Amino acid sequence: MPNQSDKYTNRKVKSSYFSTIISMSLVLFVLGLLGLIVLNAKKLSEYVKENIGLSVIIHDSIKEADLQQLRKNLEIAPFAKQVTFVTKEAAAESLQKDLGEDFIKFLGFNPLLSSFDIKLNAAYANNDSLARIETRLLTDPSIKEVFYQKSLVQAINENVKKIGLVLLGICFVLSIISVALINNTIRLYIYSKRFLIKTMQLVGATQKFISKPFLVRSLWNGIYSSLITIALMMGLIFVAQKNFPELIELQDINLFIQLFVLVIIAGIGINLLSTYFALKRYLKIQTDDLYQL
């Protein structure tokens, strides 16, 4: 039967093993969370850009056949994500609600014109593209005017670029910190086994024989920590969607799958590489030097 000392040693080893996995899981969680923010920031920027409006004002004299043809042309245009026809009556009703007054009764007629409200595809939501779109549309004689807020479009694009650069910088710094933390955790574990490694060498074990169990354990550590990280992230996503239902529109299951796969690859890859280089160091070190570390 195992004595009290053996039981204590086993508990200590298991505690060290689980603490290593939990530590790596938390570090991977930070990396995964950052990836989630970056991916959703891209989706959010696209969502904002695709809500930039372009109004195509048409002449009152347009014929019904020409109106339908114009509508079809706009709907199949590569820059258009969504096209909505707004009659002059609907435009007047909307303006009356905003003003709180019946301006038609005051003027005696409706001065507004029918229009097409276009939601743009994100790739075309910039002033250069919009200028080209405006020039192209105005060649149609049935179109009187093309309206969009140039200053708003410019401000949105500038802010998206700034936010992207900030997130990229944060991602780079945290990635380095996360890899360093995982590497140090593994190095400490290998350090605690340095005498065992050297003993195995002294009795004639090959480097491959010594390395294999460490690398296998490192592989499973990477898998376990990755799965824990994915579980934590799924819980976070569930809570976020429950408290902020509007975020559901920004979710993309394919992006989540890609992110989870990257977490698994990162967890396994960092663990294996860190273990390999740590082992390489202690396999080459002299016996006398073990006591000086």
Q: Which domains does the chain have, with CATH numbers?
A: 4-47+156-292 (no CATH), 53-147 (3.30.70.3040)
pLDDT score at 82: 87
Sheet holding 115-120, edge to edge: 80-86, 115-120, 53-58, 143-147
Backbone φ, ψ for residue 233 (5° rounding):
-70, -40
Q: Residue 6: what residue type?
A: D
Output the pTM of the full model. Answer: 0.59
pLDDT score at 267: 84
The single residue listed with the structure tokens 């860190």 is: 274
pLDDT score at 1: 44
What's the CA gap between 160 and 166, in Å, rounded? 10
Low-confidence ranges of the chain (pLDDT < 50): 1, 5-6, 8-9, 13
pLDDT score at 5: 46
pLDDT score at 234: 85
* Angle (deg, nearest 10), helices 194-202 and 253-284: 60
- In sequence order, the 6+-apart residues with CB closer than 8 A to the CB of 292 are none
* Angle (deg, nearest 10), helices 4-49 and 253-284: 140
3-state secondary structure of 81: strand
What's the CA gap between 39 and 252, in Å, rounded? 10
Q: Which of 84, 50, 88, 77 is nearest to 134 (CA)?
A: 77
Distances in whole angstroms, Cα of residue 271 to Cα of each of 89, 189, 211, 213, 233: 66, 12, 13, 13, 20
User: Residue 83 forms beta bridges with which residues?
Assistant: 118
pLDDT digits (tens, 9 = 90+) for 150-184: 777 777 777 777 877 787 787 777 777 777 777 77
DSSP state at residue 138? T
pLDDT score at 173: 79
